Amino acid sequence: MNIKEVISKLSIDEKLTLLTGKDTWNTVAIEEKGVPSICVSDGPHGLRKVCTNEKGQTFTKEAVCFPTASALSATWNTELAEKVGQAIGEECSANDVDIILGPGTNIKRTPLCGRNFEYFSEDPVLAGELSAAYIKGVQSTGVGTSLKHFSTNNQEYDRFHVNTEVDIRALREIYLKPFEIAVKKSKPTSVMCAYNRLNGIYCSENKFLLNDILREEWGFDGFVVSDWGAVHDRAKALKASLELEMPYSEKSFDALKQAYENGKITDEEIDSAVERFLNIVFRLYNNRNNRVKEYNPDGHHKLAKEIALEAITLLKNEDNILPIKKEKIKSIAVIGNYAKTPIIQGGGSAEVKPIKIDNAFDRIIELAGSDIEIKYSDLYAAWSHINSINNLSTALTFACDSDMAIIFVGSPFNYESEGYDRTSITLPPHIEDAILKIAAKNPNTVVVIQAGSAIDMSSWIDKVKGVVFAWFTGQAGGSAIAEILFGLSNPCGKIAETFPLKIEDTPSYATYPGNGYASWYAEGIMVGYRYYDTYNKDVLFPFGHGLSYTTFEYKDLTITPDTASEENEINVKFRIKNTGNMQGKEIVQLYVKDTHSKALRPDKELKAFCKIDLKPGEEKEVEFKLDKSAFAYFNTSFNDWHVESGRFKILIGSSSRDIRLKGNVYVKSNFDFS
């Protein structure tokens, strides 16, 4: 299909019609001229396909609900991100969906952001690598992706209008970086612009963002789609390189026609936008016949569980309270409704209708068998005060009479959601109070938390022995939690965002959510651990933290060459050994620290990571290759990445605050300024 030829046969009205949707989920077809329509649908942690029945009522089709992005990022496993992308691509194919609207790779600037469960990390490299892997997986099935929300949609509060004021260095190093990595590595078929303004201009009309950086600099060759209803001035958006306005907008055609007739947009601009759009439409349409139209829901449920098992993060394990020791523990009080009705995801456009849901309780009963007596009590029932009081007194009695208490708590359904932010990062006060009361009755108390983003646990954490952060782990998360508790699986997740002691400690606290017009990113590049580690602030749990039932030894670090020019590749090798007696996976993290710099640099920055699977006693070599990007910062005078000559520390850690190996490399810049 020669696209230029197709375009030459289209009238100006037909071309302008193509640049807005046909409806909420489909693009316009012009069949007589050979232009097909494609279908897009929400996700990204499963397919959310909205359909209409014969009576005209809308409903969401069932699909496998995988762990959400914040859980996927806790796996730090790019292979799993690719696998889940592939599985979701298969579900899209089977449901005639051509593009899944995801992944979302906005940086977690504040733990309050309601959509943090849909985003990967506070760190751009981790977010970028996971997004790239997910996109690769989806697109391997012939289905397209829409990387979103470009850019700086880091709060839901006032998201339609807020003006995010971000300095260029922070924009490049933190907020654009994950998009840059994903676009360059995996070439998403489309990018979705964000609702908000960036430095005064709506993202949908922001030529600097959509054209100069995305297209010209990064080589993006797909089309840009608006977030749903994000276009304010259609002609300006077209000129900025936004090809598709979604959903169908009555005003779009007239606005474009008027701008065309007034000479504000030219034939060339229209033709090139239509060409960029149709390139993808034809690519996706043409590969429809090659796509596999079936998928295996049980296989996908298993994959959802595999991811959940790698995501669930053991935050605290005093006296090795976990895994549950059958020889010692003869009775357990299981407390809290989420043991039976888990919270598997957050709310909003990402909400998937699951095919089935595992719950932790059923699996606990199976695993306890006849060896352990399980006594279950609800905790609070939101709808009844009296029931709640009764539940708590039953829970306390059971806790008192049992060898161990496991309390299931978390973010109530829709507490974390698109459209609004959390107002607090603590658990509700009555839940905190219940934890304290239960822990006072039973010294062997473990808390299991289902949530999509960091929780402040400071008022109760010292009173409990164990904390398992279960994230929103999708439809198979419940059974995965039980298997981690009983040690059928060794926890190997690590947090991809710092857990602060309290919200007041977070770097964006003073300026979030802004003044109703602007939100100033005054903390600049000091986001997440970059801030806490540079200024030596205490945190509840540092970035990259997560415990295991086994132990790992790191040794024999070598860095070659140890003196290099900025073009050289630096080879970092070390060995890691499982020194415990259970098979386990360790997430190893490589941070770079600029020891003497003329520019402000964070204490350390994550530049590489991987997950290593080791049997007891087994030892493996780990190798990372670093290029210039590991040492560079964005210099705003050069408007480019710049490496300064000098010594850089290579830090190999189990978390940002648990550095196990240190080495040096001297890098010589191509240009040093005085």
| Site of interaction with ligand BGC (CB under 6 A) | 42, 101, 148, 227-228, 349
Task: Give 610's contacts (C-beta < 8 A, 6+ positions apart).
Answer: 76, 587, 588, 622, 624
Phi-psi domain of 348 (left: phi exceeds 0; alpha: psi -120 through 50; beta: other): left
Q: List residues bridging with 332 in a β-sheet.
A: 374, 404
Whichever of 349 and 359 has its CB closer to ligand BGC, that residue is: 349
Phi-psi domain of 410 (left: phi exceeds 0; alpha: psi -120 through 50; beta: other): left
Tell me the HSE value of 384 on the side-chain side, using a 13 A CA sphere: 9
Residue position matching structure tokens 């782990």? 473
Task: Give 22's contacts (C-beta < 8 A, 6+ positions apart).
Answer: 28, 29, 37, 248
Minimum CB distance to ligand BGC, residue 64 (Å)? 19
Whichever of 158 and 483 has its CB closer to ligand BGC, that residue is: 158
Minimum CB distance to ligand BGC, residue 148 (Å)? 6
Helices 429-441 and 385-401: crossing angle in degrees, nearest 10, is 30
**Whether 407 contacts 379, CB under 8 Å:** yes
Whichever of 148 and 611 has its CB closer to ligand BGC, that residue is: 148
| Six token digits for residue 148 | 């979103």
Task: Give 389's contacts (C-beta < 8 A, 6+ positions apart).
Answer: none
Minimum CB distance to ligand BGC, residue 177 (Å)? 20
Minimum CB distance to ligand BGC, residue 68 (Å)? 13
- Positions marked catalytic: 227
Distance between CA atoms of 174 and 82, rounded to whole angstroms?
Answer: 23
Whichever of 141 and 190 has its CB closer to ligand BGC, that residue is: 190
∠ CA(253), CA(254), CA(259), 5° rounding? 100
**Whether 417 contacts 347, CB under 8 Å:** yes
| Six token digits for residue 74 | 């806790």
Minimum CB distance to ligand BGC, residue 166 (Å)? 19
Minimum CB distance to ligand BGC, residue 207 (Å)? 22
Minimum CB distance to ligand BGC, residue 81 (Å)? 19
∠ CA(210), CA(37), CA(296), 5° rounding? 95
Task: Give 608's contacts (C-beta < 8 A, 6+ positions apart).
Answer: 125, 572, 589, 590, 624, 626, 630
Distance between CA atoms of 669 and 423, rounded to whole angstroms?
Answer: 46
Whichever of 227 and 586 has its CB closer to ligand BGC, that residue is: 227
How many CB atoms are located within 10 Å of the residue 11 CB?
A: 10
Q: Report the residue count for the chain.
A: 674
Minimum CB distance to ligand BGC, residue 247 (Å)? 8
Closest of 532, 576, 587 to residue 554, by C-alpha: 576
Minimum CB distance to ligand BGC, residue 507 (Å)? 25
Whichever of 349 and 519 has its CB closer to ligand BGC, that residue is: 349
Distance between CA atoms of 454 and 540, rounded to whole angstroms?
Answer: 10
| Six token digits for residue 373 | 């007596």
R_g (Cα) of the chain, nearest Å: 26
Closest of 449, 528, 458, 518 to residue 110, by C-alpha: 528
List helix spans (H) across 287-333. 297-311
Whichever of 230 and 334 has its CB closer to ligand BGC, that residue is: 230
